[in-house]
Structure 1
């Protein structure tokens, strides 16, 4: 029997599912915790749980005495997504969810060795103002900005006092991977948008605003970073940014994306996907029937990701560009995790996977 048991909270989301896949290659027992099952279990056992239910959490996690690792990737987002990032209610709910899980787990899991906590570039205030370039882990210049990241991180620091376990905080950039109904996954959002245009005989029109330089992270790469952090001595009680290792500009990437999706690149015509896509649900249903897709209805497939697309593509921004969102990954490389992937290759990989799984229509 393995002497390692990993609890992955938020296992049906982008990050949690990436962690499940990475941990499948290790000699360990994995418990996938989420309200709905992940796309596949990869050898894990699934436990349905509502982390906002303290009584259920006490019963469930209070019995996991043999847990050695926790990967906390659970997340609550409000409808409309971006406005909720500054609301006290959302901060409070995310704060409570971690406490509801960790209080009973830490009380019973006497052999707990490591906790991985996921944050992101909102730690640098990317959602409220331009961030330093590059943003570095030891310069949390907006710690005074209310954010559930700080509540969760401070809670773990307090709980660790006198304990025998360590923590690692990971801060990925825009994550791309396999999930359905996630609040922030641009693969299904862009895939459906492209399918609607292609079906109408149109090119791939760019719906965003002015150019903004960004970084991405492949969900599988992030999953392997999570697996690494759980064991590496250099990751103990440290914070790391995680990216693919390159940068991109949507407008420069657009011709390649169009080619991946079997289309010609179109002109720039700013349009809010968050506002317009819901009304096109019937068109998506017709495409699902025509191509025999197993993908669900539009809302179940993309969640709040069309609102996220508006944010990431700077829809509504004015001027010749917006401030770049670039973080340094030097600290992560020096600590020993050196994987990287070309972002263009990443997009091609995920669009092909979604096509092969009959979640998006064939491009030819």
Structure 2
């Protein structure tokens, strides 16, 4: 028997029995044999999972928002998530005993095709690898943004993805990266990553502005920071929330461009040479820096996931943020097998 976390209603979840084989089942083949995984950790992708937990996924997006191994259908009951790190219990000799990452929901044990798992680099701690899906999103966002040497870059919204985007961008030679969040509690973690933190920024000379706050007001801020002919990359996803945006003022005179970025698709310029697995391998490799442990702000045992998700989703839909929701970056779930 295997157990998983299920969203069972608006802001309601429970631990219940789940399918051991991936759903929908994928037949093992000689070229792609099955592997059995025992979960060690999983990460909560707070923005997206809070929207799912609060029943904020619009019906028009039910299909595109499906997780790779989701069980059930939106709105609920649904088994959702995509940041599982585990150990291969049985499978090909090359994988047995290795720690791997899989885009699988929060579940204690599961079986998937070997092609669905990516081995961790030998020096990457399994506990940090729960950030892989966030790093993959950050990589894809920067592919879409196409920053250049010396660019003046602003990143608005310092959740996990925003911090990773800013950290990666700051490693490009000559860039001036400003990391912006209205929450002063983000300062310590931003500065631990070597970032120039601001709660407000008056400069409007940026070549590139990346928005990742998840709040419409943050996109307004991004517009104000953009210089002439600047590019604005929108990485937030709002679910069913309407987003009003002031496209008067300098939007036309500065000839600004707003472009969405979504991790479900590779940048067209990468497609001839890159596959999804290549992107995930790159994300895992980039996580080898110990400083990124600062993005994991707490952990809880698997059995407490219903209560944890209720706390993390407390601010979705306009409600007041709970202390856990307002201060959390990545919250890690720990699996203890008996």
Q: With structure 1 as the length reference, what TM-score do the two structures score?
A: 0.32
Q: With structure 2 as the length reference, what TM-score do the two structures score?
A: 0.34
Q: Which structure: greater helix fraction?
A: 1
Q: Which structure: greater strand fraction?
A: 2
